[in-house]
Structure 1
Amino acid sequence: MASPATTSLPVPSQHLPSSTSAPGLPPGFPSMLFPPPEVEVAEGDPIPINTKFGVSYTVPGDWRNSSRGVTGWNTDFGSVVYGGVAMYDYDYCPEHRDGATKALTGMTGRNGVDIPTAAFEASRDAEIIFRSKPGDDVVIEYSEPVDFEIDGAPAVRYSAQISNMTQKFDCDPVEATFDVVATEGFSNATVAVFMVQTDRRVEGALSETEVEQIISTLRREQ
């Protein structure tokens, strides 16, 4: 798996290499040039992450708030980019110069597709993120879609279980999970796509319960 490269610089939305740029937004659809400012909270308090897509979520207080930054993977299979980022146990593996994390959240947007299609396509980005070469031994198992609602808006979730990953360093995981939720977007894209990527079988790994808790905080921004 290629380590995600993260920058905390505020990047204008039209400069992000994501699917929000084509096709265009419907006439009159709201948009913003920069992501919302980071929300300041007392140390240890849960951290709200507001995104430019009009959908928010919350992470525990020991996470790193990089909501105005972008993160992504660039491999031989393609590239994947998310904004609205938060990171758990950042820089735990010092051998990675770009700062490895045990869990990572982010959000991007899609236009020109419906919510089920966006969720399916985003979940299959696991093939880009976790494979190191064609025909490798990495095993990726996908769940069936799960339909639910977020503040009355339809949402679809896929989960991927990844195993037999190649280690570059001893601190690298051999297993991971990749959860994707697509729902209605209210700014910058008609569909908002949220992801949680977690390392497994590493000390202090995020639990399934903690992943579920983060996903349960998805909400429309007020």
Structure 2
Amino acid sequence: MNPDEDKKNYWEKPEGSQEQPTPEVETPDNPEEQAPEGDLSRDTDNAQPDNTDTPVTWTAQEYVHIDKSPMWFVIFIFVVLALIAIDLLFLKSYTFSALVIVMAVAVIIYTRRPPRALTYALSIHQGLYVGEKLYHLDEFKSFGLIKDGEHHSIMLIPRKRFSLGVSVYFPEEAGEQIVDILGKRLPMEDLKLDVIDVVVRKLRL
């Protein structure tokens, strides 16, 4: 047998045989269906952003200003004069009388001064800005919310025993984001107005 003929017959298709068509692979219309099982790309796209990484800013008054009636000033002056009279008649300590007068003048000036509108900014990394003053969150051990009528404020409790806490007012719509940011760094406590705060508010100071 001629080797050339064998080679020719090897590459030629036998008679009567038909070429099998190549099956077509259907491509899904939605490309997301091609993602293999366990692919987290879609879960990453649908993940909600962490709002605690975004600083929150707001504007509020430094304290709640309460208008005082003329009767309030009459009673206040009467109390001041009564304290001075008690000092002059019984205690006879001019230092006490001078202290009462200085405190009375300071209270009058304070009550006549309108509160300033301050800009606040809270960041989980930097801390709390009150105007241009920065309070680092590491200086505080906890925080709490205080509701005084229609006003909402947040109190930062200092780590040092004799340090003063920081209290700021905020609008209700910003409360959730503020609590989320502080909750990442500090534990939250249940705070209420103490006796001094209640007396101050009753006296409308």
Query: TM-score range with shorter-chain normalisation?
Result: under 0.3
Structure (1/2) with the larger helix percentage? 2
Q: Which has the larger share of strand?
A: 1
Give the TM-score taking structure 1 as reference length: 0.25
Which has more radius of gyration?
2
